[in-house]
């Protein structure tokens, strides 16, 4: 899978996941322009990308394409804390 097709698939997966998990009472849905790539890499037949959305939910998403099996693995994370630890 070429890199652009992988990124397009990732955005679709993240958008679908986020929309499925939004509170229905908010009456809100996101579209492709609300999903963005933070980082991506292609190595041989494999791809990996970190994505997020414009939602204020603290979520980010890691997607990995296994080119040997033609499978995408999806992980959803919530940022719980960000602090500086001085050594």
Q: How many domains does one find in the chain?
A: 1
Q: Could you tell me which of 41, 50, 51 has the C-alpha nearest to residue 3?
A: 41
Predicted local confidence at residue 45, as pLDDT: 92
Residue 21 banded pLDDT, cuts 50, 70, 90? very high
Residue 84 maps to a domain: no
Residue 74 maps to a domain: yes
Residue 69 maps to a domain: yes
pLDDT of residue 26 exceeding 90, the answer is: no
Residue 12 maps to a domain: yes
Dihedral (CA of 10, 12, 13, 14) sign: positive
Residue 50 maps to a domain: yes
Residue 86 maps to a domain: no
Domain housing 37? 3-21+32-78
Record the pTM. Answer: 0.89
pLDDT of residue 68 exceeding 90, the answer is: yes
């Amino acid at each position: 899978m070429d890199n652009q097709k992988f990124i397009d698939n990732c955005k679709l997966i993240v958008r679908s996941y986020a929309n499925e998990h939004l509170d229905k009472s908010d009456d809100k849905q996101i579209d492709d322009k609300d999903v963005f790539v933070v980082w991506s890499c292609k190595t041989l037949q494999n791809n990996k990308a970190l994505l997020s959305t414009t939602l204020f939910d603290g979520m980010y998403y890691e997607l990995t394409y296994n080119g040997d099996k033609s499978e995408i693995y999806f992980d959803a994370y919530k940022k719980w804390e960000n602090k500086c630890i001085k050594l």
